[in-house]
Amino acid sequence: MHFALEPIWPWPAVLLVSVALLALVWSAYRRRLAALPVLHRRVLVGLRLATWLLLVWMMLRPAIETTEVDKRGSVFVILTDPSRSMNVADGLAGATRRKSLIDTLAGVESELKALAEEVDLRRFEFSKELVAVETFPPEANGEQTAIGYALEEIRKQTQGKRLAGILLLGDGAQRALPPFDADPRVVAQLLRDLQIPVHTVGFGASGQAGGMDLILEDLEVSPTVFVKNTLIASVKVKVLGAAKRDLAVRMLVEERNAIDPTGATTMKPIGPPVRLRTDQNEDLLRTELTWVPDQPGEYRLAVEVLPLDDEPVKTNNSLTTYVTVLKGGVSVAYFDRPRPEQKWLRYINDSPDIQVDFQIVRQGTLAAPTQIDPKWFDRGKYDVFILGDVPAKSFGPDLLNKLSRLVEQGAGLMMTGGFHSFGPGGYASTPLADLLPVDMDPSEIQNGPQIAPNLHYNEPLKMVPTTFGVQSFIMRLDSPDKNLERWNSLPPLQGANRFRGLKPLARPIAESADDRKLPLLVSLEVGRTRTLAFAADTSYRWYTFGKTEEHQQFWQQAILWLAHKEEQGDNAVWLKLGSRRLRPGQPLDITVGARGPDKRPLPDAGFTIEVLGPKQPDQRWPVVPQRTGADTTARFTDTRQPGEYKVRVEGTHNGQPLGGAQMRFMVYEQDLELHNPAADLALLEEISKITGGTAVPPEQLGKHLKSLIKSGLNPEVKKVSRTTLWDNAWLMLLFVVLMTTEWFWRKSRGLV
Q: Are strands 456-461 and 493-497 parallel, antiparallel or unpaired?
A: antiparallel
Residue ranges, comma separated, of all CATH 3.40.50.410 domains in the chain are: 74-206+679-715
Q: Residue 194 in 3-state DSSP?
A: coil
Please enumerate in sequence order all residues whose Cβ is within 8 A of that of 543, keeping only pairs 6 or more positions apart, or say none. Answer: 344, 347, 551, 552
Please enumerate in sequence order all residues whose Cβ is within 8 A of that of 94, keeping only pairs 6 or more positions apart, or say none. Answer: none
The amino acid at residue 487 is W
Q: What are phi and psi of 343, to 5 degrees?
A: -60, -45
Class of domain 573-667: mainly beta
Give tens-digit pLDDT for 605-662.
Answer: 999 999 999 876 678 999 999 987 667 999 999 998 888 999 999 999 988 888 888 8
Give tens-digit pLDDT for 133-150.
Answer: 999 999 999 989 999 999
**Best CA proximity match to 533, nearest among 444, 450, 439:** 439
Q: What is the dihedral of CA 684, 686, 692, 698, to 10 degrees?
A: 30
The percent of residues in the chain predicted with pLDDT above 70, rounded, is 93
* 86, 138 Cβ separation under 8 angstroms: no
Secondary structure E strands in 513-585: 519-526, 529-534, 573-577, 581-582
Assess whether pLDDT exceeds 60 at residue 569. Answer: no
CA–CA separation, 684 and 669 (whole Å): 28
Burial of 669 (0-12, 13-18, 19+ CB in 10 A): exposed
Q: 673 to each of 81, 176, 536, 679, how far by Cα in Å?
A: 12, 9, 59, 10
Give the best-scoring range by mean pLDDT among 326-330, 482-486, 741-745, 748-752.
482-486
Give tens-digit pLDDT for 219-276.
Answer: 888 887 777 778 889 999 999 888 999 999 999 999 865 444 455 568 999 989 999 9
Average pLDDT over residues 534-559: 93
285: β partners: 237
CA–CA separation, 322 and 515 (whole Å): 53
DSSP state of 29: I
Class of domain 218-326: mainly beta
**Best CA proximity match to 104, nearest among 201, 238, 230, 245:** 201
CA–CA separation, 257 and 251 (whole Å): 18
Q: In this predicted structure, what is the pLDDT of residue 258? A: 47
Q: Are strands 643-653 and 631-636 parallel, antiparallel or unpaired?
A: unpaired
Which one has a higher pLDDT value, 739 or 286? 286
Average pLDDT over residues 724-738: 85
Half-sphere exposure of 605 (CA within 13 A, CB side): 27
CA–CA separation, 75 and 678 (whole Å): 32
Q: How confident is the model at residue 439 (pLDDT cuts 50, 70, 90)?
A: very high
Give tens-digit pLDDT for 679-691.
Answer: 899 999 999 999 9
* 65, 2 Cβ separation under 8 angstroms: yes
Average pLDDT over residues 735-750: 82
Average pLDDT over residues 359-369: 74
pTM: 0.49
Q: What CATH code would you report for 330-562?
A: 3.40.50.880
Assess whether pLDDT exceeds 70 at residue 334. Answer: yes
Q: In this predicted structure, what is the pLDDT of residue 617? A: 66
Half-sphere exposure of 251 (CA within 13 A, CB side): 26
Q: Residue 694 in 3-state DSSP?
A: coil
Q: In this predicted structure, what is the pLDDT of residue 672? A: 74
The percent of residues in the chain predicted with pLDDT above 90, rounded, is 50
Residue ranges, comma separated, of all CATH 3.40.50.880 domains in the chain are: 330-562
Q: How confident is the model at residue 208 (pLDDT cuts 50, 70, 90)?
A: very low
Q: 173 to each of 46, 144, 580, how far by Cα in Å?
A: 82, 10, 28
Average pLDDT over residues 183-188: 95
Average pLDDT over residues 433-454: 88
Secondary structure E strands in 292-336: 297-305, 318-326, 330-336
Q: What is the dihedral of CA 172, 178, 182, 184, to 10 degrees?
A: 10
CA–CA separation, 737 and 714 (whole Å): 51
* 380, 427 Cβ separation under 8 angstroms: no
Q: In this predicted structure, what is the pLDDT of residue 364? A: 61
Q: In this predicted structure, what is the pLDDT of residue 191? A: 95
Q: How many CB atoms lie within 10 A of CB 448?
A: 7
**Least trusted range by pLDDT, from 94-108, 251-265, 346-360, 362-376:** 251-265
Residue ranges, comma separated, of all CATH 2.60.40.10 domains in the chain are: 218-326, 573-667
CA–CA separation, 506 and 513 (whole Å): 20
* 299, 320 Cβ separation under 8 angstroms: no
Q: In this predicted structure, what is the pLDDT of residue 48? A: 83
Q: What is the fold of 74-206+679-715? A: Rossmann fold (3.40.50)
